[in-house]
Structure 1
Amino acid sequence: MPTLLLIDGSSYLFRAFHALPDLRNKAGEPTGALRGVLSMLQPLRTSSGATHAACIFDAKGKTFRNDWYPDYKATRKPTPEDLIPQIEPIQACARALGWPVIVEPGVEADDVIGTLTRLAVAQGFEVLISTGDKDMAQLVQPGVTLINTMTNESLDEAGVLAKFGVPPNRIVDYLTLVGDTVDNVPGVEKCGPKTAVKWLSEYDNLDNLVAHAAEIKGVVGENLRKALDFLPMGKRLVTIVNDVPLAEKLDELTWREPDNATLIEHYTRWEFKSWLRGLQPVSTPAAPEGRAGDQASMFGDAPVAALRAPAAPIREADEEIVERSPAHRDAYECILTREALAKWLAKIDAASLTAFDTETDSLDGMQAHLVGMSFCVKVGEAAYLPLTHRYPGVPDQLPLAEVLAALKPWLEDATKPKLGQNLKYDMHVLANHGITLRGVAEDTLLESAAWESDKGHDLDGLAKRHTDMATLSYAEVCGKGAKAIGFADVDLTLATAYGAEDADVTLRVHHKLAPLIAAEPGLERVYRQIELPVQEVLWAMERTGVLIDSGLLAQQSDELGRKMMEIEQEAYVVAGQPFNLNSPKQLGEILFEQLKLPVKKKTPSGTPSTDEEVLAELALDYPLPKLLLDYRSMAKLKNTYTDKLPRMVNPATGRVHTSFSQTGAITGRLASSEPNLQNIPVRTPEGRRIRQAFIAPPGWHLVSADYSQIELRIMAHLSGDERLLEAFAAGEDVHRATAAEVFGVATAEVSSEQRRYAKTINFGLIYGMSAHGLARSLDIERSAAQSWIDRYFARYPGVARYMEQTRIAARTQGYVETVFGRRLWLAEIKSSNAGRRQGAERAAINAPMQGTAADLVKLAMRSVYDWLNNEGLQSKLLLQVHDELILEVPESELALVREKLPQLMAGVAELKVPLLAEVGVGNNWDEAH
């Protein structure tokens, strides 16, 4: 089969420029980008197996997108001065190597690649796109694969879904929501990747999300509604055009003969001596298996296993890197003898606190194994203990089994205090070696999250902010992407400088943060009583995993597939002929040429658009667009969940193991990833059925315990409003009680519609909903909505008072607090931009409720976990989803757990209103919820 290899040359040259050091020839001319790009291009001609190829670069000047939107790329920094003189030589050398080079004026390289991809697929080509640009993921389809040479990443349709959380045909919607700061394309303010994926999972596509924008709660919902006018333009800007006119024809994009004379001229000028010697292509090394994950197999079965740049000469820079590290000025030691190990065992055994860290072969804690460990008992005095380094000539290391046996008593001793940065990860690593880490006394990741929730919490950043130390980065030690090596291949001198520094810096950061937190009782309580205790619970939950019924998911996939086929056949009947439902070209011909449906808008090339927005509008009046939307909805559900989850089952445990982050949100809410189990869709019957695949083993049950109306109860506590407190104390239906107050009727006379309105008001006000938002949500006049809000505040004056006091406090101190003292910083609270300032004020009202709810759930998790362990029960916590805890409980313990669980959850704190937890039981998650 013919194969077309498309190189995103602009992506190559920028990434090569930033990845390599400042290389220059004797004349002082910069050569780093030139060397980097040629290193990637040279081996591809023979190794890629491509029959056709092109290297595409952006042309100088503006493009048609600037005509649409004058501010497009307006904030992009100018091309670095040292890169500019390398661009033309890069293109000239590429041509001399035999690459067809395309620089199309007035359009971007992305659009050229998109057009060539469309043409090639239509002619039966396999297409390989080598780029680092996330926007290109929208081009992935059967026969089209993205290759990232800098990270050894290969993305087919499943890969795009796994990486971004949405399939290729939703990437444009995803990018429209998150925006593109590099290109100055605003998305929805505060909408990051997680929110975008959540929305698209729930609403399937941007058009449906926009149609339901009034339903989206919270600040981000307000931000969505503020962005509605720009979203169509944003979507237009991030959509790669696939029909730009090109001078080059597809059959002309074949390999040329290398022009050795030109290459010799360039290699001589730029002093590429090794390439001059015989003009032989550089070799392509095996893929690394760096700490970021076992990537060696990532390209093993890919169609272009050699699409990698040569490994960077990491160890050539060792002396320079180590020279600037603290290793030279501080007492960093490499432990290679039994005497040295015994000395350090005595040190850590006697220390009041030991900073501890592991170096491994993977970022996946469930899969990672030890390469080395580091210890620090005093600032500037640290050691690295290498265990499994394996490069040629590596000094003899102490046997792994012997070292672990010697360290295990200390590691498992709860009376020996340990400090680390994200010790939950190290707990997994040690558990993989049969060791249970105990005595976790401090964690700088969690200290940072408590002290500065609005900042990043990585160790390098903490070191810079709190110690003024310029630390060694992992990339400096191991390289980046295709140039990377595994930590096991790092020279011990450099490994010691890096590993021991990690432990040393962790201790230094702790010494800075600990007294700051100790001086603030609220922050100390959040750190000591909530975050540190729940870390062990999360580790245990991650370790346990959740059982899924892969067979049921396969059955659901088949059913979704059959429904898609039925929709497909029905679409053929309506259209009067078969066609490819995934082909915009064929779809356009059917809708607008044959069925003569009205054209709602056009693409940049002038052809009628068939995007989601158009289909949703047409679906109101015509059957075929509705069928197409249903088809795409089924496809999304199938690709995102029923097909993907079985592939994520850990073969060693037979379970799916998610990862919980304590630092993903300033409110303290936990985040779930790889896979994200907090956003399983429940709005449709097909979506709810996915929860049926989360099952209990034979003889066991799943138990779900969910806090009831937790944020409303917190509002009652914070506001102290008498009527709200009375309603909750009496166990009333608070929505019915609110309806009675707002509409001036007896509680018994409240209609279902009035209760629904009251429920919307209750939750809407928590999320800062305006009269305009309430009117849209209830489909009523704005004046009526404002009247009901006014009546609400008149009947609940404590709520109005709380909101105003919270706004004032936020403006005064720049943050608000949860009931337990967690600080929620509001960067825009004093913004000169009225919209941003008002958004921050709405967040100030809602954040204490969200944050307090998160704190309560964490306290409940620890309480339940301790009770299960203290009672010696087999029952285990599996998942935490918003305000819900999910447990796996054997039949023999079911009655006890059902009785005790709501008591434990209700008893974690004393508020002005009673806490209530409702319990459900089932053989699967859907039954239990």
Structure 2
Amino acid sequence: MPSIILTKEDLADTVAYFRQQDALSFDVETVGAHRGVPSQNQITWLSMATHGAAVAIPMGHPNGDTLISKATRKKNRETGTFEAIPAVYDEPPAQLRPGQIFEALQPLLFGEQYRKICHNAVFDLVSVAKYYDGALPTPKYGCTLVASWLLDENRLNGLKPRVISEYGHKYDTENVGRRVEIHPFSTVARYALLDAKYTWLLWKRMVPLLQAEGLSRAMSLELQVLEVLLEMALTGAPVDLDALHALDADLTVQVARIIEEVYKAAGQVFNINSTRQKADILFGKKSAGGQGIKPSKLTQGGRKKKREGTKPTIYDYSTDAEELKKHDDNAVCSALLEYQEVNKLLGTYVHGYLGDESGGRPSIIFDGRIYPTFKQYGTVSGRFSASEPNLQNVPAPGSPLGAAVRGLFVAPQEKVTILQENTPVELGWVLLIADYGQIELRVMAHFLGCGAWYDGFHAGVDAHTATANAVFGVPFEEVTKDQRSRSKTLAFATLFGAQAATVAKSMGSTVQEAQAFLDLQERKMPEVGKFQNWLIGEALKHEVPHIRTLVGRKRRLPDLSSSTDWIREKAERQCLNSLIQGSAADLNKMAIIRMGHLCKKNREWLRLSLTVHDELVVHCREDKVEEGSALLQQAMIGPGIQEILNVPITADVKVCDRWSEAK
């Protein structure tokens, strides 16, 4: 068969050959304003590989191979900006239509006997589904991106870096995949074909490695998660457009007000978005109109200068939020912090959703819904990350701005009609939202197996009250609000390795007082320090120091054996955190799988929409709230998951119309 498929006969021969195999890899190239949103993009190439074959199938590429005129730029007289003018090529060869291609590929993509392997499988599988009226290719699946991440979470796991690392071949020097439509036909054909070929080769190489490293169980879990993410990618999250436009107007007014406050506090007008001018205002001498603040955090360029023996200037120091928070008693810093927070919300959660025509940024709302991309491989800990939009960074619900953003996400507004006693009844939807109660501290108590947290959870007492009971020596019922608040700070200092300076900031105390408090906890709760030392020792027994989470996923910490004190100490703090966060992520993914299966059985009235940290957000038909709530709780803490930890797990289910109402 030819490597580029242009006729129905060659396509039929290709499908016939692939149907004789047990698995195939495939990859899509997409175009359009929403090329990165799989439910909305347009496929112009699909490439496949299997045992002994690799092909590229174009379905609408606009260019031939002969260059007629080079790419250039033209100045827009009205705006003064330069606009890109793409290169012009001759006509491409005749290509099959998408309908012809996807009809021919249906036996492969929907055959249960074939494993479908992709690099970033959610993207490719959902991109294809729209050509089958939203039907997803049938499992079994494989994902080399997930496999590569499990084999080493600390490296770059994109397809190109993996190919360079494994095979020493750099085949995409022009970044063709970013905009396939501007490149000549043969260049894209070669690129697409190699994407599929190397995905196939990597899969064959990685499966034995996963088995050898004891990661088969973790990979099985992640492939089940992948199946649920596919459904979530098609479900999306409804957004209240009226509330979004109102928030746009409100935040725009707030930003203007805060800018005036910054200028008033500084005593002068300056470019608030210029790091150089901010450095002049913040770090400049008071005699010259500055605030006289002593800078402390070097930028990347500043650190490079210091390493090279050059003395950094004030412009080599950071003016980011972390630096500003150190001086939040200064009026300029305080106003700049507020500006950064509100302006980020406006840019990220308003203009990021609605789009910005002046900046060439399209809206990410389609038919009243946003379709986030949830990345199961997006962090070293095993927790999800998200993009388009990044819901993991939505502000805390306790703040007015956080509540405003979460309030944008609502239950589906469409109505469904069902028959009740032969009478048509119109019904709406609600949100079911559940999150684990103190899950990371419960995981910690599970691993400790004794002590204040372990005993407290078994007694039905929350972790912070149990900490106060142990540290302050007071009965549970006599713990004060202040003691509980301080104990909460201690708990998270333990989980995240926070040191005295950070604890002091959180508690509003001196560093000395915070250190004394940490020392007191260490004496009163010795099981924590003993376990941490044991864990580090276990990690160091391996050639590459690592820990394993509940499902056996590795978190590699090579810096544990560093001879440099601060590097080693940082890794030691990460060691415990990696175990706890990673194991909590395992539990969350198990719950997602369980909920995904329940939603699939009850799809007409129950759909999983979002996962954010330890929360699950579900769409439920209003007449099924009681049953849906029970199923959600069963998924998170029911039989089969409750037994995983040797302390009780809790999860509260809230019924609401807006995400913000759940807290």
TM-score, normalised relative to structure 2: 0.78
- Please give the secondary structure, in 1, of the residue aligned with 2:608: strand
Paired position in structure 1 for 2:70: none
Partner of 1:430: 128
- In structure 2, the residue matched to 1:687 is 402
Q: 1:765 is matched with which residue?
A: 494
Q: Contact between 2:433 and 2:662, CA under 8 Å: does it hold in 1?
A: yes
Q: Does 1:880 align with 2:611?
A: yes
Q: Distance in 2 between matches of 1:616 and 1:722?
A: 35
- In our comparison, the structure showing a higher alpha carbon Rg is 1
Correspondence 1:664 to 2:378: yes
Residue aligned with 1:457, SS: coil
Structure-1 separation of matches of 2:351 and 2:475: 52
Uncovered stretches (5+) of structure 2, i.e. residues with no partner: 65-89, 296-311, 356-361, 414-427
CA contact (8 A) 2:285 2:291 kept: no
For the 8 Å contact 2:29–2:177, the answer to whether it is kept is: no
Q: Name the structure 1 match of 2:193.
A: 500
- Residue of structure 1 in register with 2:163 after alignment: 463
Q: Which runs of 5+ in 1 are unaligned?
A: 1-330
- Aligned partners of 1:747 and 1:439: how far apart in 2? 51
The SS at the match of 1:712 is helix
Between the aligned partners of 1:371 and 1:916, the Cα distance in structure 2 is 48
Q: Aligned pair 1:913/2:647, yes or no? A: yes
Q: How far, CA to CA, are the matches of 2:255 and 2:501 in structure 1?
A: 39
Q: Match for residue 299 of structure 2?
A: none
Tell me which residue corresponds to 1:368. 41
Return closer, same or farther for 1:479/1:597 CA change in 2, 3 Å cut-off.
closer
1:413 and 1:687, CA in 2 relative to 1: closer, same or farther beyond 3 A?
same
**Aligned partner of residue 29 in structure 2, secondary structure:** strand
Amino acid aligned to 1:463? V
Alpha-carbon distance in 2 for matches of 1:419, 1:617: 49
Mark the CA change 1:737 to 1:384 in structure 2 (over 3 Å): closer, same or farther. same
Residue number among 509, 513, 516 corresponding to 2:206 in the alignment? 513
Cα deviation digits, residues 728-778 of structure 1 (max 9, x gap): 122112211221111122222222221122221122111123345434433
Aligned pairs for 1:709-748 (under 5 A) are: 709-748=438-477
2:521 equivalent in structure 1: 792
Amino acid at match of 1:667: S
Structure 1 position 352, deviation (Å): 1.5
- Alpha-carbon distance change, 831 to 359 in structure 1, aligned in 2, over 3 angstroms: same
Q: Which residue of 2 aligns with 1:138?
A: none
Whole-angstrom distance in 1 between the partners of 2:28 and 2:112: 19
The Cα shift of 1:893 comes to: 1.8
C-alpha root-mean-square deviation of aligned residues, in Å?
3.7
Q: In the alignment, is the contact (CA less than 8 A) between 2:431 and 2:657 conserved in 1?
A: yes
Q: Are the counterparts in 2 of residues 554 and 643 from structure 1 also a CA contact under 8 Å?
A: no
CA–CA separation in structure 2 for the residues paired with 1:618 and 1:842:
26
Structure 1 residues 667 and 596, CA gap change in structure 2 (3 angstroms): closer
1:265-289 CA distance string (max 9 Å, x none): xxxxxxxxxxxxxxxxxxxxxxxxx
Check if 1:803 corresponds to 2:532.
yes
Q: CA deviation at 1:672?
A: 0.9
Match in the other structure for 1:642:
350
1:715 Cα offset (Å): 0.6
Equivalent residue, structure 1, for 2:181? 486
1:540 aligns with 2:248: no
Deviation, 1:508, is 1.7
Query: Match for residue 174 of structure 2?
Result: 475
Closer/same/farther in 2, CA of residues 821 and 332 from structure 1, 3 Å limit: farther
CA change 1:892–1:595 in 2 (3 A) is: farther
- Matched ranges for 1:405-444 at <5 A: 405-434=103-132, 435-444=135-144
Which residue of structure 1 aligns with residue 595 of structure 2? Answer: 864
Percent identical among aligned pairs is 30
Is the alpha carbon distance of 1:866 and 1:580 closer, same or farther for their aligned partners in structure 2, counting shifts above 3 Å? same
* Cα pair 1:552 1:693 within 8 Å, conserved: yes
Cα 1:842/1:574, change in 2 over 3 Å: closer
Provide, for residues 841-884 of structure 1, a one-character-per-residue CA deviation record: whole Å limited to 9, x for no partner.
Answer: 10011101111111111111111011011134422222111111
SS in 1 for 2:55: strand
Match of 1:377 in 2: 50
Residues 1:832 and 1:515: Cα distance change in structure 2 (over 3 Å): same
What is the TM-score of this pair, normalised by structure 1? 0.57
* Structure 2 equivalent of residue 833 of structure 1: 564
- Structure 2 residue identity aligned to 1:383: V
Q: Deviation of residue 512 (structure 1)?
A: 1.5
Partner of 2:433: 704
**Which of 527, 543, 556 is 2:219 aligned to?**
527
Aligned AA (1:418):
K
Within the candidate set 655, 658, 661, 2:369 is matched to 655
Partners of 1:574 and 1:805 lie apart in 2 by 52
Q: Does structure 1 retain, via aligned residues, the 8 Å contact 2:352–2:363? A: no
- The C-alpha deviation readout for 1:808-856, integer Å capped at 9, x for no partner, is 1222321111111110111321222110110001001110111111111
Aligned equivalent of 1:678: 392
Partner SS state of residue 333, structure 1: coil
Q: Which amino acid aligns with 1:387?
A: M
SS of match in other structure, 1:812: coil
| Further displaced range: 817-826 or 391-400 | 391-400
Q: Which amino acid in structure 1 is aligned with residue 174 of structure 2?
A: A
Superposition deviation, residue 791 in structure 1: 4.2
2:151 is the counterpart of 1:451: yes
Deviations 1:666-702 (A, max 9, x none): 1111111122112122353233222112112342222
Equivalent-residue separation in structure 2 for 1:556 and 1:858 (angstroms)? 33
On the 8 A contact 2:391/2:612 being kept in 1, the answer is yes
Structure 1 residue 794, shift from structure 2 partner: 4.2
Query: Contact 2:112–2:139 (CA<8 Å) still a contact in 1?
Result: yes
- Aligned ranges for residues 79-94 of structure 1 at < 5 Å? none
Report 1:4-19 matches (<5 A): none
Counterpart amino acid of residue 372 in structure 1: W
Secondary structure of the 2:239 match is coil
- Please state whether the residue corresponding to 1:845 is helix, strand or coil: helix
Partner of residue 900 from structure 1, selected from 627, 631, 642: 631
| Aligned residues of 2:547 and 2:556 also touching (Cα < 8 A) | yes
Distance apart, 1:915 and its partner CA: 1.6
Separation of aligned partners in 1, 2:603 and 2:472: 53
Residue 620 of structure 2 aligns to a residue in which SS? strand
CA distance in 2, matches of 1:512, 1:678: 33
Residue 891 of structure 1 and its aligned partner are, at CA, apart by 0.7
In structure 2, the residue matched to 1:120 is none
Aligned to 2:22: 352
| Aligned amino acid, residue 436 of structure 1 | L
Equivalent-residue separation in structure 2 for 1:852 and 1:641 (angstroms):
30
Q: Which of 818, 825, 828 is residue 549 of structure 2 equivalent to? A: 818
The whole-number CA distance in structure 1 between the counterparts of 2:324 and 2:333 is 5
SS at match of 1:644: helix
1:558 equivalent in alignment to 2:249: yes
Equivalent-residue separation in structure 2 for 1:755 and 1:403 (angstroms)? 63
Relative contact order higher in (CA < 8 Å, ≥ 6 apart): 2
Indicate the larger mover: 449-458 or 789-798: 789-798
CA distance in 2, matches of 1:926, 1:829: 41
Structure 1 residues 630 and 393: CA distance shift in structure 2, 3 A: closer
Measured after TM superposition, the shift of residue 565 of structure 1 is 5.6
